[in-house]
Chains A and B, each alone.
Chain A
């Protein structure tokens, strides 16, 4: 069985086969040669993995991002943030971080943020003489903020798996997401000063006000989405659909940039991207089922429990486990696979499950861009035309920043729980 679960997928990954085939091959070898189950379970799990209403938010948020990316919404947000932070050295890098954080409150899909913000920022950063490795690393890494700042699709799935309130999780994600954004921005400024790139320009109030005016409709999107969710008006999936309609109306009728053909083409692009991502989710679902029926997660959990560790040691061990799992599995499958096993363990040692949800999300967010298999790396490679080797070299410092943030979020629960208390106070 180890041959099917470890040797086959690792070997096929290394020789460059498509990821969905890697997972499907492992499953097929295991079921045909090592297990005695009806073969039809493959179809049932492939279908069942994507026959899930929460997943609808994935193409919806991708479409919203695609519509905004095709119009000038992303550019207007970039101009707004750039007008505000232009007087700082490395301002384009800071703008990429700030815009990603705002976009994170619109799209909810990390890969879409990498693609949309990257399309605007990578050419601008190249023209301004930013080192290519730095640009590649920054753009690939900032998208992960998106799954931490609500709306966040992994948090929805964790909420379902751990029977925890999505609204509480969303409230808990705000401060950690902003904290990571600030940490990355600080690193950008430090690097820019040290290596003398990204010259500052004086602050211009009229330019700032002009940019603010031009971006007001774009800034309306996160207000509607988050206001709608926190106000109890929309479910997260509905908020994603509303974001699509809002983006279509604003870009077609307010900015007058997109026609019917563009709206259909944006949907066609969403189909393509959904096909790329969800076929992996479907196959990862079967792979996750394979691990579960072979009691691999249970064995790992039992091993962790057998060590009789304290809360902080358990969190450290879980962080290591999640970081490793996040390198191979997409966040949704990883959450679905591990949460039912890990949540009872953390509850037993007195860890708040909302806090733990944020720890899980940040871990798996790191997995989104962690070499060698982070999905955002392949998005940046594919959509932005960045070389894989360049991304790998550039991403390392950002991995360390996220790991420092992860340590802080793991061991200072207040960073997450302060948002929950604020929401409850308002509620």
Chain B
């Protein structure tokens, strides 16, 4: 049930980011057309596009984490005995929990500061806590996923990561 909820969450994040990304493309294209045909440009459009990309980076990484598709150099690890591979899988989740908790704590502090001082972006006037919070939310969700995966591995419910051929990134 939690697995299904996490899968659904990853899919929702992916689709929301996809629609936001299409908006970024449209904003950029509109700016080009507006500039050449009407001599107009959307102020702050670049900022919004970049903030969408920042969200794609850190929330997109949540989707990648859930699907266990992060890029890695695992030629040696794959050849290790099964027991060693299990230890490595556990160690990886423990390290991700530590790192995500560390970044989360600092990111939460920073995004909170942005909220408190009410800082906005220069052109679009976007409250700066929003793009900064995408880092916070991203690492919070990665922390959650890593905790659940660690519990699943220890309980023997989590199968080993599929071979790359079975886990295609773009399909």
Q: Which of A's residues lie within 8 Å of B, judged by CB?
A: 12-21, 24-25, 28, 32, 39-40, 42-44, 46-47, 50-53, 55-56, 58-60, 63, 66, 69, 115, 233-234, 237-238, 241-242, 244-245, 263-265, 267-282, 372-373, 375, 378-379, 381-383, 385-386, 388-389, 392
Bound Cα distance from A69 to B64, whole angstroms = 21
Known contacts A16-B77, A56-B49, A388-B75: does B14 contact A268 (CB below 8 Å)? yes
Known contacts A53-B50, A56-B24: does B71 contact A382 (CB below 8 Å)? yes
- When distances are taken between beta carbons in the complex, the residues of chain B under 8 Å from A265 are 18
B32 within 8 A of A: yes
Q: Among residues 27 to 86 in chain B, which have CB atoms less than 8 Å away from a CB atom of chain A?
A: 28-29, 31-32, 36, 46, 49-51, 53-54, 56-64, 67, 69-78
Bound Cα distance from A130 to B31, whole angstroms = 47
- When distances are taken between beta carbons in the complex, the residues of chain A under 8 Å from B135 are 43, 46-47
B169 within 8 A of A: yes
Residue contact A47 to B63, C-beta cutoff 8 Å? no
Bound Cα distance from A105 to B22, whole angstroms = 22
Binds A, one of B1-9, B96-104, B148-156: B96-104
- When distances are taken between beta carbons in the complex, the residues of chain A under 8 Å from B132 are 43, 47
Residue contact A373 to B73, C-beta cutoff 8 Å? yes
Q: For residue A41, which residue of chain B has the nearest CB? A: B106
- When distances are taken between beta carbons in the complex, the residues of chain A under 8 Å from B53 are 50, 55-56, 58-59, 274, 278
Residue contact B75 to A279, C-beta cutoff 8 Å? no
Residue contact B28 to A241, C-beta cutoff 8 Å? yes
Q: Which of B's residues lie within 8 Å of A, judged by CB?
A: 14-15, 17-19, 21-22, 24-26, 28-29, 31-32, 36, 46, 49-51, 53-54, 56-64, 67, 69-78, 88, 91-92, 95-96, 98-99, 102-103, 106-107, 109-110, 131-132, 135, 164-171
Residue contact A279 to B95, C-beta cutoff 8 Å? no
Residue contact B106 to A40, C-beta cutoff 8 Å? yes
Bound Cα distance from A242 to B26, whole angstroms = 9
Residue contact A268 to B15, C-beta cutoff 8 Å? yes
Q: List 28 A-B contacts (CB under 8 A).
A: A16-B74, A16-B75, A19-B72, A20-B70, A28-B99, A42-B103, A44-B110, A50-B53, A51-B51, A59-B53, A63-B21, A66-B170, A237-B28, A238-B32, A244-B25, A263-B22, A264-B15, A267-B22, A268-B15, A268-B18, A271-B18, A272-B63, A274-B56, A276-B60, A278-B53, A281-B57, A373-B73, A389-B75
Residue contact B31 to A238, C-beta cutoff 8 Å? yes
The winner among A13, A47, A66, A237 for most chain B CB atoms within 10 A is: A47
* B11–chain A nearest beta-carbon distance, Å: 9
* A41–chain B nearest beta-carbon distance, Å: 8
Known contacts A25-B95, A39-B106, A241-B28: does B56 contact A271 (CB below 8 Å)? yes
Given A271-B21, A271-B60, A279-B70, 19 additional A-B pairs, CB 8 A: A16-B72, A17-B72, A19-B73, A21-B99, A25-B99, A50-B53, A237-B28, A238-B32, A245-B29, A264-B15, A268-B14, A268-B18, A271-B17, A274-B57, A275-B57, A275-B64, A276-B169, A378-B72, A382-B69
* B22–chain A nearest beta-carbon distance, Å: 5
Known contacts A16-B74, A21-B92, A372-B73: does B28 contact A275 (CB below 8 Å)? no
- When distances are taken between beta carbons in the complex, the residues of chain B under 8 Å from A278 are 53, 56-57, 60
Residue contact B72 to A279, C-beta cutoff 8 Å? no
Residue contact B131 to A47, C-beta cutoff 8 Å? yes
- When distances are taken between beta carbons in the complex, the residues of chain A under 8 Å from B46 are 53
Residue contact A272 to B92, C-beta cutoff 8 Å? no
* B67–chain A nearest beta-carbon distance, Å: 8
Q: For residue B168, which residue of chain A has the nearest CB? A: A383
Bound Cα distance from A47 to B132, whole angstroms = 7
Bound Cα distance from A268 to B22, whole angstroms = 10
Q: For residue A66, which residue of chain B has the nearest CB? A: B170
* A20–chain B nearest beta-carbon distance, Å: 6
- When distances are taken between beta carbons in the complex, the residues of chain A under 8 Å from B109 are 40, 43
Residue contact A378 to B71, C-beta cutoff 8 Å? yes
Residue contact A43 to B103, C-beta cutoff 8 Å? yes
Known contacts A55-B53, A264-B22: does B14 contact A272 (CB below 8 Å)? yes
* A4–chain B nearest beta-carbon distance, Å: 14
Which residue of the partner chain, among B75, B106, B169, contacts A273 with CB atoms under 8 Å? B169
Residue contact B107 to A43, C-beta cutoff 8 Å? yes
* B85–chain A nearest beta-carbon distance, Å: 9
Residue contact A51 to B131, C-beta cutoff 8 Å? yes
Residue contact B32 to A234, C-beta cutoff 8 Å? yes
- When distances are taken between beta carbons in the complex, the residues of chain A under 8 Å from B59 are 275
Which residue of the partner chain, among B54, B76, B110, B165, contacts A16 with CB atoms under 8 Å? B76
Residue contact A46 to B92, C-beta cutoff 8 Å? no
* A115–chain B nearest beta-carbon distance, Å: 6
- When distances are taken between beta carbons in the complex, the residues of chain A under 8 Å from B54 are 47, 50-51
Residue contact A15 to B75, C-beta cutoff 8 Å? no
- When distances are taken between beta carbons in the complex, the residues of chain B under 8 Å from A14 are 73, 76
* B115–chain A nearest beta-carbon distance, Å: 14
Residue contact A282 to B70, C-beta cutoff 8 Å? no
- When distances are taken between beta carbons in the complex, the residues of chain B under 8 Å from A385 are 164-166, 168
Residue contact A382 to B164, C-beta cutoff 8 Å? yes
The winner among A16, A52, A56, A275 for most chain B CB atoms within 10 A is: A275
- When distances are taken between beta carbons in the complex, the residues of chain A under 8 Å from B99 are 21, 24-25, 28
